[in-house]
């Protein structure tokens, strides 16, 4: 018996898709990580972080990507899983 798996929550929309209605697509979960998603098309990550931490971040701030490389905050997303989604763009 399986009770309400968290995987039933849809992946977040890619931030690019949010602002371009004709290019709406969802991000893919990062294997082995909870609440981290990646868009290979736009080289963009979304990650749930503590809401207080998220509140102290602004667009353009440096924020490490889930793999540890430097990234830049793009924008905040929805609240979920007790935190807030932040979209982070790779600096590669």
Residues in the chain: 92
At closest approach, how far in Å is the CB of 11 from Zn ion?
11
Provide the binding-site residues for Zn ion, judged by CB under 5 A: 14, 16, 39, 41-42
Q: What CA–CA distances, in Å, run from 62 to 20, 26, 32, 47?
A: 25, 24, 24, 14
At closest approach, how far in Å is the CB of 52 from Zn ion?
27
At closest approach, how far in Å is the CB of 27 from Zn ion?
7
Question: Phi and psi for 21 in degrees, rounded to 5?
Answer: -55, -25
Q: Which residues pair with 83 in a beta bridge?
A: 80
> Between 14 and 48, whose beta carbon lies closer to Zn ion?
14
- The residue number with the shortest CB distance to Zn ion is 14
């Amino acid at each position: 018996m399986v009770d309400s798996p968290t995987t039933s929550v849809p992946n977040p929309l890619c931030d690019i898709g949010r602002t371009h209605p004709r290019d709406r697509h969802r991000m893919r979960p990062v294997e082995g990580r909870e609440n981290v998603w990646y868009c290979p098309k736009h080289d963009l990550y979304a990650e749930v972080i503590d809401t207080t931490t998220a509140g102290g971040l602004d667009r353009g701030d440096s924020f490490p990507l889930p793999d540890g490389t430097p990234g830049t905050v793009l924008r905040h997303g929805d609240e979920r899983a007790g935190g807030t989604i932040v979209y982070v763009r790779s600096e590669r």
